[in-house]
Structure 1
């Protein structure tokens, strides 16, 4: 399917692995120029080579390190987009952390602030930096990554739950403000996708249960994600496919929406 965005420029954060990397590959294959962003230069450069191998129509791929918890670094990322490509047309904010988890009463203010600073304020800083570039163009696509946890929270992940619920609300807020100017702003809510974040969770669970990681995954599916009717972890590429569509010209009448890519994990029909 031709997404009709060849020649556009996309900034993808959290792009050295997982959903961000899978999305960058799909967009590059559509001829989109890609600015990959993450915090670690070595891993980001390796990811950039993978994306370049998928690029079509002379699409350019560059890697720019920036920490989304630092305002100045986000502004520098935006400046790079302006200098290299006359600004971004598409932003996919995939950067995020699970953050502190456990008993709510044992989580400190610092635990909460660390998660908020990356998962919520990181998205705020990115949107604040790049929306002006899209205003100048009169066209834009922003996709923020929320989570099933926003709609179906798990008690041990209260900071993460709250931040991801905030992402859905932020998406609607921004769409009301900026979609009249040509920007389609949406979010995607994955569930239990095979990424470094959930890999770390499964390693921790396997250690706690004194089992293999495969056994931990099976136990987790049966006991903690029983509503995943496809009975497996999701693939980053499956989430990326939805994101890529939302970045496309075909998504010109979709804004302020949350798309669940969760294998059925959210039990309600209307969340």
Structure 2
């Protein structure tokens, strides 16, 4: 399918692996030039080399919670690539886990800093680019947790609920300028983040990783009807659609890619 984004410039955060990397790959296949960013310079370089498309891939390490880092990569992108047309915010962490009375202020602060204030700072830095030219796309990666919170992931749930609110407000503010803003909410996708979660669970339960995954599906995600972890490319396909001309009448929406994991309609 021709998504109509050939020649567009996309910035993808959290792009050294998982959903971010797969999204970058799909956008490249569709003819876009893609800038990858993530915190670890070595892993980011490896991700850029693995993805190919050498003439259309740029990569700059940055921490999205750092205003100085964001200004630095913005200057480099403007000089070496051009103004971005598409922003995909995929960077994030699981953050502090535990029941409410088990969480401390540092756990809350770190999770909100990365998963909510990081995206806010990112958009604040690149919004002037996206408001020019009469065409732009922002896609936030939220989570099923935003609308179906879990009692042992409270800071993450609150941050992702904030992402949905941020996405909706931005979609109302800039639509008439041609900037469309949407979000995608995955559930239990096979990524390094959920790998770490399942390895920790396997250790706690003294079982194999595969057994930990199955018990998590049975006990923690009973409405995830396909009974498996999703694949990053399954999420990336939806993100790429929302970045495209095919989604020219989609604005302020949240697309759930969760195999039914969210119980409500």
Q: Indicate yes or no: 2:247 matched with 1:238.
A: no
* Aligned equivalent of 2:144: 148
* Aligned equivalent of 1:188: 184
1:191-270 aligned at under 5 Å gives the runs 191-269=187-265
CA separation in 2, counterparts of 1:72 and 1:152? 34
1:6 is paired with a residue whose SS is coil
Q: Indicate yes or no: 2:17 matched with 1:17.
A: yes
1:119-198 aligned at under 5 Å gives the runs 119-198=115-194
CA separation in 2, counterparts of 1:72 and 1:35? 18
1:117 shift after superposition? 0.7
CA separation in 2, counterparts of 1:255 and 1:49? 34
CA separation in 2, counterparts of 1:255 and 1:117? 26
CA contact (8 A) 1:38 1:65 kept: yes
CA separation in 2, counterparts of 1:104 and 1:214? 28
- Per-residue deviation, residues 42-65 of structure 1 (Å, max 9, x unmatched): 11011101222xx3xx85101100
Which TM-score applies when normalising by structure 1? 0.96
CA contact (8 A) 1:175 1:184 kept: yes
Which TM-score applies when normalising by structure 2? 0.98
* Aligned equivalent of 2:2: 2
1:168 shift after superposition? 0.3
Aligned length: 265
CA separation in 2, counterparts of 1:203 and 1:14? 21
- Per-residue deviation, residues 232-253 of structure 1 (Å, max 9, x unmatched): 1000000000000000011111
2:92 is paired with a residue whose SS is coil
* Aligned equivalent of 2:88: 92
Backbone CA RMSD of aligned residues: 1.0
* Aligned equivalent of 1:62: 58
1:36 is paired with a residue whose SS is strand
